[in-house]
Every structure is written in structure tokens, then in C-alpha cells.
Structure 1
Amino acid sequence: MKFVTAEKSSEIFVGLVNEAKTKILPLNKASEKKSGSKEFPETMLECIALGNIFIQKVNDLLDWADSDEDVFLPIESIKLLAPIPRPSKNIFCVGKNYADHAIEMGSKEDIPEHIMVFTKAPTTVIGHKETVLSHHGLTEELDYEGELAVIIGKKGKGIKREEALDYIFGYTIINDITARDLQARHKQFFIGKSLDTTCPMGPWILHSSAVENPNKLNIQTSINGEIRQSSNTENFIFPIEEIISVLSEGMTLEPGDIIATGTPAGVGKGFKPPRFLKKGDVIDITVENIGTLSNQIQD
């Protein structure tokens, strides 16, 4: 199952992707036609918080909807927003989680022994095919970072590593766009990571039931069709189970929390000379089984 937050005629709704039909099933519109009432919450965050009840309701609706083509919308007729357009808290981000990326940003001595975590502000989030602002005049070193992201599905604290995957609702793609000069100037990551529009997310959330092993997925980033990053999440220094376990040791994780799991080598700053983003550049990030997140840089 792939879940979207979408917009059509100024109406925002949660929907389900039917890739075979290249259509979207708007959950509440379909449930209203089926039973006369809206059976689903209005936002993705509220749907995720319902847990297994939400998935059961979706399955029940699908059994009915498959026989009624009129309830589906052509995917080209809607606008895809970020799956969670406004997260309830900052996005958790894991830094230097691929050894080759740690090395390109410094040396072997920069490979971390313990998980590095920083955050991005909720106001950074935009959706698939939305414009990333260049922030010209504020930064001259805008960079890309293609990442697999985890969406937490249920509340937990002190989560055991062997149980961590059970706390995941699904997976999406994030571009952790970074102003490298601001990052260096402030000696902390937050400002350089939190400019408006610098967290493209999407195009949807792939439910966890469709992913056998999130620590073994191909990931690739291209700029204007040129492949810059190509790796596999099996190269994580800290696998997803460990990330969730460590984050939850003294902090409660909640439904809808987002964790970006780190980026592989090939970022713009890693080239000699560096190859930072410029106006007109198109960034495509593809993660196996999930799809492709695409955005363009503009002023």
C-alpha cells in the first residue's frame, strides 16, 4: 500500500495509490459513497495514529472499491503534497550513516562510533515536484542528500532493537537539502538544514508490510539525469533497528514521527571542486520499492 496526501480543487485528502491503474483512491470520498459517511480522519497524521484499525478499514474499502471505477481519480488530475505536509515535530536526521559519505566529508576518522542526530524544522517540508528555493544571497552552497525515511506508527519508549521494526508505519524518501556554508558558519546543523523548502518528501508513504528488509534497499540520486549517489541501505553504519532503539532510550517516539536515515557518498560538497545546486537543477531520488522523489531548484 502506498498512501498519499493530495489536493484536488482546493480540497486536501488522504488517498491510496493504485499503480496498476495509475489512479488514486480518495479514502473519505470512497467511504462516503460506500456507506454514506466519512470513515477516515482528514489528515495522514491522524490516519497513522489509528494504527492497525486504519489498515483494516482501508482493506475493507478496497474490497468494495475494486468493483467501482468511478471512485478512483486519475493521478495526473491531482497534486501530490508531502505525505505529512506539516509534521508535528522536527524531523529526526541521522548524520554520517554511510562510511563512504563520512570519508568524503572528512576522513576515516570522521566515521562515527555512535549515532549522530540532528533535526530539520517542520517548515522545511514540501512535496514531490514542488520547487526548492535557491535562497540566493543567503547561501551559495546548497547541496542535496538523498535518504530513506522512516515513519513511526505507534508510541514507544525504550524500544528493544529486535522489536523496532514493529513500530514503523511505513517508508518514504527525503532530500535533506543543506546550506553547507551556513552549516559551517554556525558550527551546528540546524540553521543550514532548516531553510524553507529544504526537506522535499514523498511522493508517498509505502506501508511497512510491503518492505521485507529496509536495511537492503537500493538508493540513487541524480542531478539533471547524471547519477551522483548510488548505494544500498545495507551499507548503513547504524541499521534502522538501532536508530529507533537509541532514539527511544530516553525519548518517546510517537505516530507520525519522521526519521531520515542518512545519505551515501556523492553529495555536491564531496566533489573536488564541489558541485553545489544551482537554479534550474532537477534532483531525482529513487529508493527501491518506494519510487522517485523529484524537485527543481528555482529562485
Structure 2
Amino acid sequence: MKLLTFHREGRLALGMRTEQGVLDVTAAAATRGEGRQVPMTIGAAIEGGDEARRTLEALAAQADGDAELWLDEDALQLGPCVTAPGKIICVGLNYRKHAEETNAAIPAYPILFNKFNNTLAAHGEDIPLPRVSSEVDYEAELVVVIGRTAKNVGREQALDHVYGYCCVNDLSARDLQMRTPQWLLGKTCDKFSPLGPYLVTADEVGDPNALAISAVVNGETRQSSSTSDMIFRCDEIVSYISRHMTLSPGDIILTGTPEGVVLGLPPERRVYLQPGDVVEIAIEKLGTLRNRMTAE
């Protein structure tokens, strides 16, 4: 199942994408949701787990053929596919070839840092390049979205606590990131985590470490890899983090980026993102996240 959010009347509404279009969940619940506890927000869908997923699937089946309940995705202004994560946890240097291209040692443990909700943005949303940086880089990444409370879970059970997955561009201001040993400043500028276009449930994705992943800038492929190149796989990441802090429904984990970022090039060849550049992050089964860079 593919879920999304879209702007309507000053709020973010829940939609479900199928081959027929985008189901307007609120409208469908009003006409077809008799006797059901239909989740009306992306947060409620995540917290509702399998039961909420089955409810949404049944709602879509009942709404089949009712044209008034289906929307044209191209006419929608999307929101982030996860709107209010309690935690945004990031894993640095988690692809072997990316570590090699930046001349970094292969980490013995996952390198963790965090972002905040000010970095959230949507598919199709313009991203302002901050005035305080001249070295903003793209990073194609797979996001793990937690669906069940996880504390001290083993690797074997870790993915049972995952609701689904989505694409993110972990934008990074390298000059700010490298200013101090802590990366936070270069990672937390406004709208530096465009997320989407869809939140795809785990049952539809299968193995998260067998997905093609790419970044394309102005039509030129810059990153082209597979999530199989992760040093720490998704189950290991969820398990590791859960041993140190409780993961809650709606928390998101950015799992690292493959080789091909600007920072990995020789200094004389580095051309960082400029106003007008269009970046597309594509992950197999999850869709393509597209954003245009603008001057702040």
C-alpha cells in the first residue's frame, strides 16, 4: 500500500495511491466507511498498524468505480509522507563505496546523528539553498519508518517493528557540516529532508536491502547503487538503535547514502547544488522524489 499526504483547506489530508488514482480517504470514509475506524491522518495509519492497513484497503475496494472519491495525483500539492516524526535519526557513512570515496574508515558501529522536523519537505516542494552555505550536496537515502514500539529488539525481530519505507534527500551543507566535529549544523537547515512521495508499507517492499537507489541532478545520474551495499543493514540498524533508545511509531531512520555525492569528487571537480537545479531521488518500489533548489 502506498500512502501520501496532500494539502487541502489548510491541513494535510491522507491519500492512498493505487492504479486508479489517489483515494481521498476522508471523503471515502464519509460515504463508504460505515462502522469502521478509518485512520484520517498518516500518523493514525502508522499507529493503527495492520488493522488500519486492512481498513484502508477495504475502503479502497469499496470506493472502486466511484469517480468522486479519486483524485488526480498531478493536481495535488503533496506534503511530507510522514508529517510529525518524534525522532529523525540518521546513519552516516553506511555505504561501503561511499566511505571509500570520501577516504573515511569503515565504521565499526553505526554513526548516528539527528535532524529535526524543520528539515521536512515534500515531493515537488522548492528547497531554499541557505545563504550561509555555498556547498550544499545531495544524498539519496532509504528511510525506515517505525510502526511498533521497539526497545531492545534483536535483529531477527527488528523488521517486524517497521511500518514501511520511503525516499529522502538528506541534503547536507558540507562547509557547515565540516566546520566542527559534530555534523548537526550542516544537516539541519530548513527543508533539508524532503520526504516522499509515498510511504510504502513493508509488505509491499519486501527486503529493504535489495533495492536499486539513485540520484539524478538536472537529468544526469550522479548516484546509482543498491541498498545491498549498506555496511549496517536495516534490521541491524533498527536493533542497534533500539538497544540505546526506545523507537516509537512514526519515528524515521535515514539509513545512509551510496557513492556519487559531490563531496566524493576531487576538490577541483566539485560543483555543489545551485538555484534552479532539480534533484530526483529514486528507490525501487518507492517512487521518485523530485525537488528544485532555489535561492534563499
TM-score normalized with structure 1 length: 0.94
Paired residue secondary structure (1:244): helix
Q: Report how far residue 143 of structure 1 moved.
A: 0.6
Q: Report how far residue 243 of structure 1 moved.
A: 0.2
Q: Report how far residue 31 of structure 1 moved.
A: 1.1
Which residue number in structure 1 is paired with residue 3 of structure 2? 3
Q: Report how far residue 9 of structure 1 moved.
A: 4.5
Which residue number in structure 1 is paired with residue 148 of structure 2? 154
**138, 160, 163: which one aligns with 1:169:** 163
Q: Report how far residue 28 of structure 1 moved.
A: 1.9
For 2:96 and 2:86, the matched residues in 1 are separated by 31
For 2:276 and 2:134, the matched residues in 1 are separated by 15
Which residue number in structure 2 is paired with residue 194 of structure 1? 188
What 5-or-longer segments of structure 1 have no aligned partner? none
Q: Decide whether the 8 Å contact of 2:209 with 2:234 is kept in 1.
A: yes
For 1:11 and 1:194, the matched residues in 2 are separated by 24
Which residue number in structure 2 is paired with residue 127 of structure 1? 122
**Identity value in percent:** 38
Which residue number in structure 1 is paired with residue 206 of structure 2? 212
Q: Deviations over 1:104-129 (max 9, x none)?
A: 2224xx11111111111111000001
For 2:247 and 2:180, the matched residues in 1 are separated by 28
What 5-or-longer segments of structure 2 have no aligned partner? none
Letter in 2 for 1:168: V
For 1:264 and 1:51, the matched residues in 2 are separated by 30
Q: Decide whether the 8 Å contact of 2:146 with 2:252 is kept in 1.
A: yes
Q: Decide whether the 8 Å contact of 2:176 with 2:185 is kept in 1.
A: yes
For 1:239 and 1:35, the matched residues in 2 are separated by 39
Which residue number in structure 2 is paired with residue 97 of structure 1? 94
For 1:146 and 1:15, the matched residues in 2 are separated by 24
Q: Report how far residue 74 of structure 1 moved.
A: 1.2
Which residue number in structure 2 is paired with residue 221 of structure 1? 215
Letter in 2 for 1:98: Y
Which residue number in structure 1 is paired with residue 112 of structure 2? 117
Q: Decide whether the 8 Å contact of 1:32 with 1:39 is kept in 2.
A: no
Letter in 2 for 1:204: Y
Q: Report how far residue 37 of structure 1 moved.
A: 8.0
For 2:138 and 2:33, the matched residues in 1 are separated by 45
Q: Decide whether the 8 Å contact of 2:86 with 2:248 is kept in 1.
A: no
TM-score normalized with structure 2 length: 0.95
Question: Paired residues, what number?
Answer: 293
Letter in 2 for 1:105: T
**163, 173, 178: which one aligns with 1:179:** 173
For 1:143 and 1:48, the matched residues in 2 are separated by 31
Paired residue secondary structure (2:178): helix
Q: Decide whether the 8 Å contact of 1:31 with 1:37 is kept in 2.
A: no
Which residue number in structure 2 is paired with residue 276 of structure 1? 272
Letter in 1 for 2:3: F
**49, 55, 58: which one aligns with 2:56:** 58
Paired residue secondary structure (2:179): helix
Q: Decide whether the 8 Å contact of 1:86 with 1:123 is kept in 2.
A: no
Q: Report how far residue 38 of structure 1 moved.
A: 8.2
After superposing the two structures, state which structure 1 stretch, 37-46 or 5-14, moved more.
Answer: 37-46
Q: Deviations over 1:185-225 (max 9, x none)?
A: 12211111000011111001011111121100000101101
Q: Decide whether the 8 Å contact of 1:28 with 1:39 is kept in 2.
A: no
Paired residue secondary structure (1:182): helix
